[in-house]
Amino acid sequence: MTQPLHYLKETPSQTAGPYVHIGCTPNFTGITNVYAEDLGTSMVNDQTEGARITVKGTVYDGMGAPVKDALVEIWQADANGFYNSPSEMRGAADPNFTGWGRCPGDMETGEFTFETVKPGIVPFKDGRPMAPHITFWVVARGINIGLHTRMYFPDEEAANNADPILTRIEHQQRVPTLIAKKEGDVYRFDIHLQGDQETVFFDI
Amino acid sequence: MSNKKVETGAFYARDRAWQPPAYTPTYKTSVLRSPRKALLSLDNTVSEITGPVFGHNQIGELDNDLLLNFSETGELPVGERIIVHGRVLDERGVPVSGALIEMWQANAGGRYRHKKETYLAPLDPNFGGCGRTITDENGFYSFRTVKPGPYPWPNGVNDWRPAHIHFSVFGNGFAQRLITQMYFEGDPLIWKCPIVRSIPDEAAVKQLIAPLDMASTIPMDSLSYKFDIVLRGRRSTLFENRREGN
Ligand SMILES: [Fe+2]
């Protein structure tokens, strides 16, 4: 006999379902008299440091149809590479930048939009720099457990080529699924749940 | 707030055999929305270890009272009055303080207040169906609502969702992010539901079924159900990031 380990089990996930907006973005679905504003709507204010960027994208299913009921959250470092979180021990993040955004897909097109800043460089566990990136988390009807991925920047080729995570991906032809496309002033990051272009998702 | 030291360790690996897989064909919508390639395993970096925090000042006084937070006239919604309460813990059993919980649900007749909702059960003019709260320093939370009704949904010809409340939970690292559903003790629809059955392990399903908690009912007022939530635990950082010679 040994001592029991006594760990608890993580609560199992269940799909966010089609009505996730009621709980997470009620104003978006017309429930406007409960919260003043939906959480995660704005990440920046007029004093936020760094280069303003717009990130847009659409989540697609295995047939290439837009997922119109998806809810997307992002989490990222500020322009200097610091996270606005108590667990950030390396330095003080920009108090005018939340680092966290939440956006439901447009009910007609499925498109999401984030107005944010370009994140700085954050170190990997061994101290090597990671290329600038934004963490994405996607839930929707039909997704049993939230999907984590990362968006990298197309104008950071050298940093991407040296990134400790991107370089570790066995099938290098899948790396472009993690790199946004520059369209004018907008970074487009489409997420493919399945199929030939299936986005690399992480078990983090 | 508390004298607890901020933790910066990586999270325990997720037990993917306990969690539902992505592809569960009896829940039809998962068929085209499930990644089919292996997930890329990634021991946490600072990007996953950190996460947003929400302050009690961001939460309104009635946000956790679904009986009162929607009605403009102060009239009450129809349905069984219940209090749902519990604790947010991590896998080590450590209470998670400051965890934001957002909840949403159908009304007592099984109808959601949503643009895309088509069930013929009526809306309740006094019920919105959303609420939120933040756990206290010991991880406790509670909210007040009506017991939601079951409802039919298009999947099989005759599938019904058991009564449930949706929960969205933030811990203190983004890797702990979780959305789930709470079910009610004794509901015969639970074990017939294809969404419930996306979870392979019966013991895991039971973790989502809240028991009636007579100790916390308010006599002549509200019944109570107790629902504890477990988020991923963190490793100690004591022996990490120490390279030879440093
Ligand atoms: Fe539901």
Q: Are B148 and B130 spatial neighbours (Cβ–Cβ below 8 Å)? A: no
In CATH, A14-192 is 3.40.50.1370: no
Kindly report the nearest CA distance between residue A114 and chain B, in angstroms: 16
The pLDDT tens digits of the residues spanning A87-112 come to 999 999 999 999 999 999 999 999 99
Q: Which residues pair with A115 in a beta bridge?
A: A54
pLDDT of residue A146: 98
**Is it the case that residue B2 has pLDDT exceeding 80?**
no
Average of per-residue pLDDT values in chain B: 94
The model carries a pTM of 0.97
The structure tokens listed for A161 are 């080529």
| Interface confidence: ipTM more than 0.95 | yes
**Inter-chain CB proximity A18 and B15 less than 8 Å:** no
The pLDDT tens digits of the residues spanning B90-113 come to 999 999 999 999 999 999 999 999
d(CA A135, CA B2): 29
**Inter-chain CB proximity B33 and A75 less than 8 Å:** no
Q: Are A139 and B102 spatial neighbours (Cβ–Cβ below 8 Å)? A: no
**Is it the case that residue B246 has pLDDT exceeding 60?**
no
Beta strand pairing call for B40-41 and A202-203:
parallel
Our answer to whether residue B141 is catalytic in this structure is no
Q: Are A146 and A139 spatial neighbours (Cβ–Cβ below 8 Å)? A: yes
Average the pLDDT over B121-137 and give the result: 97
**Per-chain residues with Cβ under 5 A from ion ligand 1:** A 17
Closest partner residue to B204 (CB to CB) among A12, A29, A87 is A12
Q: Which amino acid is at B130?
A: C
The pLDDT tens digits of the residues spanning B172-186 come to 999 999 999 999 999
Kindly report the nearest CA distance between residue A22 and chain B, in angstroms: 6
Q: Are A67 and B166 spatial neighbours (Cβ–Cβ below 8 Å)? A: no
**Is it the case that residue B5 has pLDDT exceeding 90?**
no
Q: Which amino acid is at A203?
A: D
Q: Are B174 and A135 spatial neighbours (Cβ–Cβ below 8 Å)? A: yes
Half-sphere exposure of A102 (CA within 13 A, CB side): 19
List chain A residues with CB under 8 Å of B203. Answer: 9
d(CA B164, ligand 1 centre) in Å: 6
Q: Residues of chain A whose pLDDT is less than 50?
A: none
Cβ within 8 Å of residue A154, ≥6 positions away = A179, A180, A181, A182, A187
Helix (H) or strand (E) holding A24: helix A20-24
Catalogue all structural domains in chain B, each as residue range(s) with its CATH number: 28-231 (2.60.130.10)
Cβ within 8 Å of residue A59, ≥6 positions away = A66, A67, A70, A72, A105, A110, A112, A138, A140, A190, A191, A193
